[in-house]
Amino acid sequence: MKRYLVAYASETGNTLMLAKEIHNAINCPKDEKELVDIRSWNGTLDAELYFIGFWINRGSCSLEIIDLISSLHGKNVAFFGTCGLGDSYEYHKMLEQNARAWLAEDNNFLGSFFCLGKMPVEIRNRYESLRGNCGDVQIDFMLSMLDDAASHPDNQDLLQVRLFTDEMLIKAENYTAAYI
C-alpha cells in the first residue's frame, strides 16, 4: 500500500498540472507515492491518503471519478480540480459538496482546492455563435468568465495548490496520530 495516491481525470491538461504539482509537493520517497491518470488505473492501488482531482463538467465530476470516490472506505481523502466557469468560494463549496455526496461516511474528508482552468477555444466559439439567439448579456458574462480562466492554472494557483497539499498532509498526520 502507498502512503499517498494522486489520482486525477484531466480533459485539457489543467487538472493534470495540479496533480503533478501535488505529487511533487509530497516530500517522501518515490515508492510511497503514486500519480495516476484515472483512465489508466486498474483499481489495484491502495493508499492511506487519496488526492482526487477532476475537471468540472456541469457542476460535478466524471463517472470514473465517482466510481473511485464511492469505492473508498476508511481513507483520508482530499479533492482538487479545475473549472472554466465560476471562481467563487460559494461555487467551490458547492463543487466540494457535489463530489462529497459520493464519499462514504467512514472516510476522513480533509478538504478541497479548486481553481480556474482554461477552456478549449471551441467552447468560446460555441458561446460566440449564440449571440443574437439568446440573451447577449448572458453570453457576454459567460465569455468574460472564459477570458478570466484563459491564463489558469497560473503560478499563483500552483503555489496555492502546494499550500493546500501541505495543509492536507498535516491534517492526515493529525488524524492518524489521534487514532494510534
User: Domain residue spans in the chain?
Assistant: 2-117+153-178, 119-151
Quote the pLDDT of residue 144. 85
Query: How large a percentage of the chain has pLDDT more than 90?
Result: 68
Q: Is the per-residue pLDDT at 8 higher than 60?
A: yes
Quote the pLDDT of residue 99. 96
Over residues 28-76, the pLDDT tens digits come to: 999 999 999 999 888 788 999 999 999 998 888 999 999 999 999 999 9
- Distance CA(171)–CA(106), nearest Å, equals 16
**Can you identify the CATH homologous superfamily of domain 2-117+153-178?**
Flavodoxin domain (3.40.50.360)
Quote the pLDDT of residue 180. 42
With CA atoms as reference, report the closest residue to 144 among 116, 169, 173. 116
Dihedral class, residue 82 (left if φ above 0, else alpha if ψ from -120 to 50, else beta): beta
Q: Is 115 exposed, middle or buried (0-12, 13-18, 19+ CB in 10 A)?
A: buried
Quote the pLDDT of residue 124. 80
Share the mean pLDDT of the chain: 91
Per-residue confidence at 177, pLDDT binned at 50, 70, 90? low
Q: Is 102 exposed, middle or buried (0-12, 13-18, 19+ CB in 10 A)?
A: middle
Beta bridge partners of 57: 60
Mean pLDDT, residues 74-83 taken together: 96
With CA atoms as reference, report the closest residue to 114 among 103, 98, 130, 134. 98
Over residues 131-162, the pLDDT tens digits come to: 877 777 888 888 888 888 889 999 999 999 99
Mean pLDDT, residues 108-133 taken together: 88
Quote the pLDDT of residue 80. 98
Quote the pLDDT of residue 120. 85
Hey, how many other C-beta atoms are within 10 angstroms of the C-beta on 120?
12
- Distance CA(83)–CA(92), nearest Å, equals 9
